[in-house]
A and B are shown apart, each in its own frame.
Chain A
Amino acid sequence: MTLAQDPHLPTSAVAGDETTISTSGNGQAILYLVGPGVASKREISLGEDIHLPSRELQNAGRYVVSVCSDACRSGSFYVAAAEPASLTFLVHPSRVPVGLSDAISGVALPFDPFHNLVRVPMAITFQLTSGKTAMMSRSVQTQDGVAWFRTSSGKDAGVLHVVAAVDELSARRAVQQVASEPCNLRIKGQRTPKAILVETEPVRDCSGNPVPDGTIVTFTAAEADGKSTVDAPIKQGVARAQIIVTKAAVISAASGVVMGNELRLGAQP
């Protein structure tokens, strides 16, 4: 049994494709294959081609082949990722206030059918659409398998659709653009037989977007010897509360850091 020279290894191999190793010499030998997540051992006949099945070459990376008879000879070859089969697309954040610069970022990573990162440079197209308006379209070349973008949020609240595409593949994410802090919080009041019914005018941010329903507006009625408060959520754009006031009082409203106007009421007769 003699091993004349090193095994002849493939110069290029693709994940999931079978490949062939040729050896020289004659007699029986042992072949060891060690790669990313793979280790196998088999008996071979020297001088014949050895077929490595696709299931042993699904992980991209460097593989080491050792052929041992009376002595061992080794070599290595590299298995590259196959064509992209899926696109992992991470977008951050999922909610963002309108009008913030560099607030939205996205990262796309192409993977082959065996979950190997495709590191060959390729162009990935990022498209951002708000309603029917295209906000951004940009083609970015991957570097070491990664492509990314960063952009500002738009001016209109609503769903921002973000798409990353490469060849026939695409991945879609949605970013909720929400109104920023309320702007010009204004309240009005109306006496009822039992209480004062106070409500805000439609609460909007400084870009005119309605502040999301559910946002708490705190109404406060300050009297000479005490106060009353109601945390009321905005519903259909307006927050309402009833406050029992029998004496002269000042009613105000606040939401977050924003204060509204004041209503001054005299004592109830």
Chain B
Amino acid sequence: MRFALPILLVAVTVGLIAAALFGVGQAGGTVGIAAGSALPGLTPNAGTPEQALANLFTDLQRRNWNRAFAALSKTSGVDEPSFIQDWAGANGSLRTFSNLEGYDSRPLHATSDDAQVRVRLHWATPVGPVEDVRDFHLTHEGDGWKVVWPKVEAPTVPAQVVPVTYLRWDLISGGAEDGWGSRNVDSPHVRIISMNAVESAEGSVVMGEVVNEDTIPAFVNVNAALVDGSGNAIDDESSFDKIAHVLLPKQVSPYRIDFPNINLKNVKNVRMDVKATLVPASADPVIGVMDQKLDPDVQGKSVLHGELLNQSGQTVNIPHVIASFYDSNGKVVWVADGYVDRSLLPQTSEPFAVEIPRTLAGKVQTFHVVVNQYSLGKS
């Protein structure tokens, strides 16, 4: 009898471990939607399309590239290096710093031989959670299901010399003997040209546009304080990454300031404050925004999409798109942003997409897109 309790504890422990191991890909609350996470476990047989995807994502989360590649259909159009690069990213892109945190999958159609599954991938990234929706095609091969990985069109840049007229501004902080005097170079003149406060599902949002009216670059930050009827500050926030901070002369940037869980009905006044600092800056790279269109996506959401074209000779590691949307009166009704998880190689393009809320989709008449960029080793 003295061994009964230890044996019972061991048995329960083994049972729980087994339940956890074989439970991968089975978690999820919504009927018809499978969900997964980064739980480690033994890989069960891919008896269903969902299980095949779960196995694949488990191997990808563990960076078990060989097993993941082996789980792909022979009809896939990729070799292993391209497959790894497609998933893990390259060239210091946002994807190289990201990890798959979880996913939801929803079958679109299935027969005994093939299936189509829509997967919403939840990535953990340095700039916050990022969601990516991909449709996967699966085929039944042998005794299980395999994922058909689409052919990856990785941009290649031919060896070339791209002449660049280099333009940058340097800041000289002179002493009293300097011709510019000591600390007497004025801060850049920037101006908020529009502001709108709206209620959103998450709280209150203050947004608009700011312009650099000066002839020098400016580092800009917009702050807002919400004030109640008694004149007391309710909250104050800054635009954080919802703005292009470095503005060249005459450049306009959207800004958005989120106040989570604050009801706009309690707000009587909004105090705006724009701070501009003179900073060293570069005029490169130039990134064009091609083929901008506002269309519904596969899920029926209104999405502004297009292509970013890097017109310079340097790699942009993490492109960041910020868009302002206007109504028929030219009023800014929404500001949205999105990071592109692939790097932008010189002279190449990458697609981008920015979502707008369903409630505003009908109001939007036009839009303006600016591209922010982060490059490794540069401020």
Residues of chain A having any CB pair with chain B under 8 Å: 89-95, 161, 172-174, 176, 178-179, 212-217, 225-233, 235-236, 241-244, 255-256
The smallest C-beta distance from A102 to any residue of chain B, in angstroms, reads 17
Which residues of A are found within 8 Å of B249, using beta-carbon distances?
212, 214-216
In the complex, the answer to whether A94 meets B180 with C-beta atoms within 8 Å is yes
B363 within 8 A of A: no
The smallest C-beta distance from B313 to any residue of chain A, in angstroms, reads 13
Which residues of A are found within 8 Å of B368, using beta-carbon distances?
229
What separation, in Å, do the CA atoms of A229 and B309 have in the docked complex?
10
In the complex formed, the residue of B with least CB distance to A172 is: B179
Which residues of A are found within 8 Å of B289, using beta-carbon distances?
228-230
B214 within 8 A of A: yes
- Among A178, A179, A241, the residue within 8 A (CB) of B286 is A241
Which residues of B are found within 8 Å of A213, using beta-carbon distances?
167, 283
B293 within 8 A of A: yes
B288 within 8 A of A: yes
In the complex, the answer to whether B286 meets A231 with C-beta atoms within 8 Å is yes
In the complex, the answer to whether B288 meets A229 with C-beta atoms within 8 Å is yes
- Interchain residue pairs with CB less than 8 A apart (9): A95-B214, A173-B180, A173-B184, A212-B249, A213-B167, A214-B216, A215-B248, A231-B370, A241-B311
In the complex, the answer to whether A173 meets B179 with C-beta atoms within 8 Å is yes
In the complex formed, the residue of A with least CB distance to B184 is: A94
In the complex, the answer to whether A233 meets B167 with C-beta atoms within 8 Å is yes
What separation, in Å, do the CA atoms of A231 and B311 have in the docked complex?
11
Residues of chain B having any CB pair with chain A under 8 Å: 165, 167, 169, 179-181, 184-186, 211, 213-217, 248-251, 283, 286-293, 306-307, 309, 311, 368-371
In the complex, the answer to whether A161 meets B181 with C-beta atoms within 8 Å is no
In the complex formed, the residue of A with least CB distance to B165 is: A235
Which residues of B are found within 8 Å of A173, using beta-carbon distances?
179-181, 184
The smallest C-beta distance from A216 to any residue of chain B, in angstroms, reads 4
What separation, in Å, do the CA atoms of A242 and B289 have in the docked complex?
11
The smallest C-beta distance from A120 to any residue of chain B, in angstroms, reads 24
In the complex, the answer to whether B288 meets A226 with C-beta atoms within 8 Å is no
Known A226-B306, A235-B167, A235-B283; judge A90-B290 contact (CB<8 A). Answer: no
Which residues of A are found within 8 Å of B217, using beta-carbon distances?
214
- Among B248, B290, B292, B293, the residue within 8 A (CB) of A216 is B248
List 6 additional contacts besides A212-B215, A256-B211; criterion CB under 8 Å. A89-B181, A95-B186, A215-B250, A230-B286, A235-B165, A241-B286
Among all A-B residue pairs, the 10 with the closest Cβ atoms: A230-B288, A233-B283, A226-B293, A215-B249, A228-B290, A235-B165, A216-B251, A256-B250, A212-B215, A178-B215
In the complex formed, the residue of A with least CB distance to B309 is: A244
In the complex, the answer to whether A226 meets B292 with C-beta atoms within 8 Å is yes
Which residues of B are found within 8 Å of A92, using beta-carbon distances?
186
Known A94-B186, A173-B179; judge A214-B167 contact (CB<8 A). Answer: yes
What separation, in Å, do the CA atoms of A79 and B208 have in the docked complex?
58
In the complex formed, the residue of B with least CB distance to A212 is: B215
Which residues of B are found within 8 Å of A227, using beta-carbon distances?
292
In the complex, the answer to whether A94 meets B185 with C-beta atoms within 8 Å is yes
In the complex, the answer to whether B250 meets A255 with C-beta atoms within 8 Å is yes
In the complex, the answer to whether A215 meets B286 with C-beta atoms within 8 Å is no
Which residues of A are found within 8 Å of B370, using beta-carbon distances?
231
Known A213-B167, A214-B283, A241-B286; judge A226-B180 contact (CB<8 A). Answer: no
What separation, in Å, do the CA atoms of A30 and B288 have in the docked complex?
83
What separation, in Å, do the CA atoms of A227 and B368 have in the docked complex?
10
In the complex, the answer to whether A95 meets B283 with C-beta atoms within 8 Å is no
- Among A95, A172, A242, A243, the residue within 8 A (CB) of B215 is A95
Q: Which residue, A214, A228, A236, A242, has most C-beta atoms of chain B within 10 A?
A: A214
